[in-house]
């Protein structure tokens, strides 16, 4: 049972599209997606520096494009049994499940990135990654912080106003690292992006999924196309419970993390150590899965 994993924001790096440019039709597809989004995806994914690439409105369509190029090359017309994306990765996952077309996924990613960037500019917020130890929900919530992500046990991200992040002291034994992101994604700080993103989603006519889609909010396994899209909207202000997603994927017998890969493979190895995982970083990695 093949599980496809689509990475989220934080996986990006300068030049991440370079390994995939000589795939058949890759440049043509990127040119088309560039027209749809108003972004030069080839330049952004090959020559622009990290300071440009990590901008939310740039990163999200780039990540979606990278996942789609690598995933279509991997599948070669076939289909996975399960798909799961991390945050923005849910859009490319929906495309692999047949809920969205590839074009719709990229265009929606560009709109999502733009709206989330605008929401982040409205107030100074940020995110804090926490490793190890135990968190007291009452403690961080009383400090004005919200749960944004649970990747695996002991690997959590909180979000909130910058002043609250600066003032809060993590519990003893918990290591903290500020993330280089524009704002507190998957918290109430993104509320102003919801209406605009819902309007974009409402223009689409999704198909039901051809495989199981694991939802970020709670690890639910979905097939109804409209529910998949509705959950994408709600996810803007809800925490990513990737721990629950991995629990829902326990039946997988193999997994592939799509480009730009690495982050989710590490989480898989912690949560499901008996499931072999391949990370697609270059076209050579496609041979490993053949």
User: What are the extents of the domains in the chain?
Assistant: 2-122+187-289, 125-178
Task: Determine the average pLDDT of the residues in 35-49.
Answer: 98
Domain 125-178 classification at class level: alpha beta
Tell whether the model's pLDDT for residue 12 goes beyond 80: yes
Query: What does the pLDDT read at residue 290?
Result: 60
In this structure, the chain runs to a length of 290
Residue ranges with strand state E in 31-145:
82-85, 125-131
- The SS3 call for residue 228 is helix
Tell whether the model's pLDDT for residue 107 goes beyond 80: yes
Contacting residues for 107 by C-beta, under 8 A, at least 6 apart: 33, 36, 37
Query: What does the pLDDT read at residue 288?
Result: 77
Q: Is 87 in the active site?
A: yes
Quote the CA–CA distance of 272 and 265 in Å, as a whole number: 10
Catalytic residue selected from 6, 70, 186, 192: 186
Give residue-wise pLDDT tens across range 118-177: 999 999 999 999 999 889 999 999 999 999 999 999 999 999 999 999 999 999 999 999
- Tell me how many degrees the CA angle 126-128-132 measures, rounded to the nearest 5: 170
Q: Is 32 in the active site?
A: no
Catalytic residue selected from 70, 87, 92, 192: 87
- For helices 56-75 and 102-122, angle between their N-to-C axes, nearest 10 degrees: 160
Nearest C-alpha neighbor of 149 from the set 56, 255, 59, 264: 264
Homologous superfamily in CATH for domain 2-122+187-289 = Malonyl-Coenzyme A Acyl Carrier Protein, domain 2 (3.40.366.10)
Query: What does the pLDDT read at residue 133?
Result: 86
Nearest C-alpha neighbor of 256 from the set 62, 81, 30: 81
Tell whether the model's pLDDT for residue 197 goes beyond 90: yes
Nearest C-alpha neighbor of 109 from the set 162, 63, 178: 63
For the whole model, what pTM was predicted?
0.97
Tell whether the model's pLDDT for residue 28 goes beyond 70: yes
Task: Determine the average pLDDT of the residues in 263-286.
Answer: 97
């Amino acid at each position: 049972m093949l599980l496809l994993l689509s990475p989220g924001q934080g996986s990006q790096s300068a030049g991440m599209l370079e390994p995939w440019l000589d795939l058949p039709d890759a440049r043509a597809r990127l040119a088309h997606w560039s027209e749809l989004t108003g972004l030069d995806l080839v330049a952004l994914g090959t020559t622009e520096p990290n300071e440009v690439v990590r901008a939310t409105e740039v990163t999200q369509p780039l990540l979606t494009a990278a996942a789609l190029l690598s995933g279509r090359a991997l599948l070669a017309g076939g289909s996975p049994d399960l798909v799961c994306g991390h945050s923005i990765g849910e859009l490319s996952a929906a495309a692999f499940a047949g809920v969205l077309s590839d074009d719709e996924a990229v265009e929606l990613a560009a709109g999502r990135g733009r709206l989330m960037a605008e929401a982040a500019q409205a107030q100074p917020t940020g995110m804090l990654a926490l490793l190890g130890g135990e968190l007291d929900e009452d403690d961080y919530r009383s400090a004005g912080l919200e749960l944004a992500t649970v990747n695996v046990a002991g690997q959590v991200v909180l979000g909130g106003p910058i002043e609250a992040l600066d003032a809060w002291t993590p519990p003893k034994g918990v290591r903290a690292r500020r993330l280089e992101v524009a704002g507190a994604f998957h918290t109430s700080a993104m509320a102003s992006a919801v209406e605009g993103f819902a309007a974009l989603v409402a223009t689409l006519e999704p198909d039901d999924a051809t495989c199981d889609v694991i939802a970020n909010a709670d690890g639910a396994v979905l097939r109804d196309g409209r529910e998949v899209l509705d959950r994408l909207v709600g996810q803007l202000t809800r925490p990513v419970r990737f721990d629950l997603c991995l629990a829902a994927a326990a039946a997988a017998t193999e997994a592939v993390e799509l480009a730009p890969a690495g982050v989710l493979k590490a989480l898989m190895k912690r949560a499901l150590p008996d499931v072999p995982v391949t990370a697609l970083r270059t076209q050579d990695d496609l041979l490993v899965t053949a």
